[in-house]
């Protein structure tokens, strides 16, 4: 519980408090069945009151607000949530088990939000997290913003102070609705116990509807404890589930006229490419995408959010594009005469200098969200449509042109510019991830932190299934990987779940190993440990003349251990064992395969594998921020000869 009581109050203050308390109503704290357990000075309302103010014959079957909330959650299919208890949400925690809802108690509320995200990203269901008021609620904000950036359906529920204390700077009070309104599809403050079913129904419909995203429900503690009543004091239970009008109008198929133009452009094109992203993942339309690509014989490139929707070993696969994407994908999309963009948002990490991106090609952009059309990149044919219906229409109606020479050309690009794994006896990060991909056959459900390891995983982990490469892509949240893996494993217990993390990123949420141990959640953590904030160090070397301000993670006090090996700091093995999680470290390439075998032997055992890699490796390819595909850097030698700091752009 987040409550705390000052220990040094003066006697005069205590006397004043006691005198003031004598003038207020007595607290109801009886423990008998059917009685109230109110923990503050309750103020009944016309439509909600303690059980003692409900007519006696109604009390035996009456449900209070927390029970109504739990019942509504079960009606939405919720059987698990991620949370942390505190003073303002204990009513809800108290009834979860009664309604068959399992709670995974994380070690920090940010972990609850990311776990809800991981659950949602892996399963396609709405993830739920629960926090108390004040700091508990604000600790959710980063995860909510992350879900908003990547269009992930979560419902965040927060307790708050009693309604009559809102706006009075009460203990642990914060206006979480105002804070989260810019980063949610909608934030609700429940003002009456009778409104709980309607708000819950709307929240889940919004979170999962059209373009998915986060929704927040803030419920004051008196609403949790009150029973719904009419003005005569009779218990009046609300309808559960509530009947509501759709909160968003449904999005339909491509219009006949637009479909005709699409098909004409595809027939006449000679160098088309499919550019697909998270919209295909969230709409679960990967099979339709494959059908369309194969019917057209058209190459496919994906964003990091779209990884897994197209088989990586398919002859038409161009893998990921963008700042650290494949050179062949970046060249192909910029030399295409037609780009069919599906479920993407032309993010700056993909486009680079947007005015030069696909400068000479025709662009068709299909997305469920009208706001994304022509927002970042003006296109020839913007189409708002439901992706499932749109892709089905194109599969049925589109006819290919003659793309033979084009496919031959991009296939040659793939052969000329593959992602490189250096042939060396040193243990490199690229080798570590490529070997993991090989040993799992690309079938694991992978989560990631944020940094160099994230980009190396994008390049070298060849995931074969949708919803299996879970990355904080838009918001870039360090610390995302481990709690997201927890949520993914809870949602998909039969899958091998691996968090590929960096030492800097993992250090932000490593306490969630406790959650893994406490609940037996078999997450594997593969640490690509280079003792640096690697991406920061790389930028500092490129842009700031090698001034590595605060990017080293090694121990500044002890440089070398007595046995002559480099000192590894922090010691993740000791930390993991402190949480009673099995851990080991590998620093030699020849030992890695056997270590992976031990890690993967039991898919239900939490495990940390700390891989000490070559420390100052850079991520290539790299298109400098604000540059174009023609400025792509392929190696350290390339960097030394071709790049000037002034060309790095302002948005790193």
Enzyme catalytic residues: 109, 171-172, 221, 535
Strands 227-228 and 469-470: unpaired
Per-residue three-class SS string for 121-162: HHHCCCEEEEECCCHHHHCCHHHHHHHHHHCCCEEEEEEECC
Residue 574 makes CB contacts below 8 A (sequence gap 6+) with none
Distances (CA, A) of 326 to 185, 197, 290: 34, 48, 20
Distance in angstroms (rounded) separating the CA atoms of residues 522 and 594 = 19
As a whole number of angstroms, the distance between CA 331 and CA 634 comes to 13
Nearest-angstrom CA–CA distance, 304 and 463: 11
**Long-range contacts from 586-590, C-beta under 8 angstroms, 24+ separation:** 586/427, 586/610, 586/611, 586/612, 587/427, 587/611, 587/612, 588/427, 589/425, 589/426, 589/427, 589/431, 590/425
Residue 269 buriedness (CB in 10 A; 0-12 / 13-18 / 19+): buried
Closest to 193 measured CA to CA, from 156, 162, 150: 162
Which residue in 426, 333, 346 sits closest to 378, CA to CA? 346
Tell whether omega for the bond before 570 is within 30 degrees of 0, i.e. cis: yes
Whole-angstrom distance, CA of residue 127 vs CA of residue 117: 6
**CB neighbour class for 5 (10 Å; exposed up to 12, middle 13-18, buried from 19):** exposed
Under DSSP, the state recorded for 485 is: H
For 520, left (φ over 0), alpha (ψ -120 to 50), or beta? left
Write the DSSP symbol of residue 532.
Answer: B
3-state class (DSSP) for residue 317: strand
Q: Evaluate whether 41 touches 33 at the Cβ level (below 8 Å).
A: no
Q: Could you write out the DSSP letters of every residue in 43-76?
A: --BTTEE-GGGS-GGGGGG---HHHHHHHHHHHT
Give residues with Cβ within 8 angstroms of 283, minimum separation 6.
343, 368, 386, 387, 388
Q: How far apart, in Å, are the Cα atoms of 426 and each of 53, 421, 591?
A: 74, 11, 11
Query: Which residues are registered as beta bridge partners of 223?
Result: none
Strand pairing partners for 68?
A: none
Residue 31's Cβ-count burial label (10 Å; 0-12, 13-18, 19+) is exposed
**Calpha distance 48→203 (Å, rounded):** 22
Beta-carbon count within 10 A of 142 CB: 20
- Residue 499: name the closest of 534, 277, 491, 510 by CA: 510
Evaluate whether 37 touches 28 at the Cβ level (below 8 Å): yes
């Amino acid at each position: 519980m987040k409550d705390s009581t000052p220990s040094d109050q003066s006697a005069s203050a205590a006397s004043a408090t006691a005198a003031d308390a004598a003038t207020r109503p007595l607290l109801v704290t009886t423990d008998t069945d059917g009685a109230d357990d109110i923990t503050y000075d309750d103020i009944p309302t016309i439509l909600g009151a303690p059980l003692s103010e409900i007519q006696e014959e109604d009390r035996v079957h009456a449900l209070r607000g927390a029970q109504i909330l739990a019942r509504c959650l079960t009606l939405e299919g919720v059987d698990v949530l991620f949370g942390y208890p505190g003073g303002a949400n204990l009513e809800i925690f108290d009834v979860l088990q009664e309604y068959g809802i399992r709670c995974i108690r994380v070690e920090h509320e940010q972990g609850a939000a990311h776990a809800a995200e991981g659950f949602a990203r892996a399963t396609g269901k709405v993830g739920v997290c629960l926090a108390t008021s004040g700091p508990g609620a604000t600790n959710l904000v980063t995860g909510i913003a992350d879900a908003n950036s990547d269009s992930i359906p979560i419902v965040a529920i927060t307790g708050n102070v009693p309604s009559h204390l809102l706006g009075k700077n009460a203990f642990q009070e914060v206006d979480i609705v105002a804070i989260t309104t810019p980063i949610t599809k909608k934030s609700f403050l429940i003002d009456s116990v009778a409104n709980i079913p309607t708000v819950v129904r709307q929240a889940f419909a919004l979170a999962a509807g059209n373009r998915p995203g986060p929704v927040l429900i803030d419920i004051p503690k008196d609403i949790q404890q009150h029973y719904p009543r009419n003005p005569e004091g009779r218990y009046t239970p609300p309808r559960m589930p509530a009947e509501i009008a759709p909160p968003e109008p449904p999005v339909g198929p491509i219009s006949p006229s637009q479909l005709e133009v699409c098909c004409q452009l595809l027939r006449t094109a000679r160098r088309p490419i499919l550019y697909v992203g998270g919209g295909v993942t969230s709409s679960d339309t990967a099979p339709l995408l494959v059908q369309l690509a194969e019917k057209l014989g058209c190459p496919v490139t994906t964003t990091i959010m779209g990884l897994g929707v197209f088989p990586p070993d398919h002859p038409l696969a161009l893998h990921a594009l963008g700042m650290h994407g494949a050179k062949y994908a970046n060249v192909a999309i910029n030399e295409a005469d037609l780009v069919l963009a599906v479920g993407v948002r032309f993010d700056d990490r993909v486009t680079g200098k947007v005015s030069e991106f696909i400068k000479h090609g025709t662009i068709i952009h299909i997305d469920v969200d009208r706001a994304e059309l022509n927002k970042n990149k003006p296109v020839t044919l913007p189409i708002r449509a439901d992706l499932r219906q749109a892709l089905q229409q194109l599969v049925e109606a589109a006819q290919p042109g003659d793309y033979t020479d084009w496919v031959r050309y991009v296939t040659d690009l793939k052969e000329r510019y593959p992602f490189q794994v250096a042939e060396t006896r040193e243990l490199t990060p690229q080798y570590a991830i490529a070997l993991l991909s090989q040993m799992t056959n690309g079938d694991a459900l992978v989560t990631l932190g944020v940094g160099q390891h994230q980009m190396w995983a994008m390049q070298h982990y060849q995931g074969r299934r949708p919803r299996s490469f879970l990355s904080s892509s838009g918001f870039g949240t360090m610390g995302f990987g481990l709690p997201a893996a927890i949520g993914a494993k809870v949602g998909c217990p039969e899958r091998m779940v691996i968090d590929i993390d960096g030492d800097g990123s993992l250090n932000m949420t490593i306490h969630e190993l406790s959650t893994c141990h406490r609940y037996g959640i078999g997450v594997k953590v593969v640490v690509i440990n280079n003792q640096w904030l690697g991406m920061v160090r790389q930028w500092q070397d490129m842009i700031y003349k090698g001034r590595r301000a605060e990017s080293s993670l090694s121990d500044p006090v002890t440089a070398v251990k007595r046995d002559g090996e480099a000192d590894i700091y922090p010691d993740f093995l000791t930390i993991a064992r402190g949480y009673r999680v099995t851990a080991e470290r590998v620093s030699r390439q020849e030992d890695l395969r056997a270590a992976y075998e031990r890690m993967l032997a039991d898919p239900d055992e939490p495990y940390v594998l700390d891989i000490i890699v070559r420390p100052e490796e850079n991520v290539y390819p790299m298109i400098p921020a604000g540059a174009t595909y023609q400025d792509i850097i392929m190696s350290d030698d390339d960097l030394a000869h071709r790049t000037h700091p002034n060309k790095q752009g302002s948005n790193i």
